Amino acid sequence: MCRTTWSLLPIAGSDEVVLQDQRARKLCLLGCWEPASILYNRLADQLPTEGAVWFNLGLCQLWDGRDREGASSLHHAATLLTDAEQATDAEALAQMVDQLWSQERVYVVTARLQVRSVSALVSRLRDARNVRFFEVA
């Protein structure tokens, strides 16, 4: 979902922080997202209020298939990022991932059919066990 469209945010800090960020970025380019997330997790321990670190950690966790952890990190990043657009992006992405695991969702299937008799189709759909009709107010 997000491996190609989201970019890591720049992280400012000491020479050591910049070096760790560069290492994590190189690991990401190689597809080594777990080691990259470990580096960002260490940076988050050092810089707990740096939203960009939490954002990058969240992306790496998502790319590594750890959706719930990634969403949690992105939610946290959204509270820390001072750039409104970045904070909105972090929260939006986190909410999209949350929806993947939510029990409160509706599955929609669309099919295009050539129908000769609408009443016959509706009757068959009403008799089907796996089709539900909802009243629209």
Q: Are 42 and 24 in contact (CB under 8 A)?
A: no
The pLDDT score that the predictor gives to residue 60 is 97
The pLDDT score that the predictor gives to residue 3 is 53
The pLDDT score that the predictor gives to residue 109 is 74
Q: Amino acid identity of 118? A: V
- pLDDT tens for the chain, 137 residues: list them: 555 578 999 999 999 999 999 999 999 999 999 999 999 999 999 999 999 999 999 999 999 999 999 999 999 999 999 999 999 999 999 999 998 877 766 667 777 878 889 898 888 888 887 777 777 76
**Spatial separation of the C-alpha atoms in residues 58 and 131, rounded to whole Å:** 38
The pLDDT score that the predictor gives to residue 124 is 84
Domain assignments of the chain as residue spans, ordered by start: 15-101
Q: Which residues contact 104 (CB under 8 A, 6 or more apart)?
A: none
pTM here is 0.73
Q: How far is CA 127 from CA 34, 132, 134, in A?
A: 49, 10, 15
What's the Rg (C-alpha) of the chain?
Answer: 22
- Which top CATH class is 15-101? mainly alpha
Q: Amino acid identity of 80? A: L
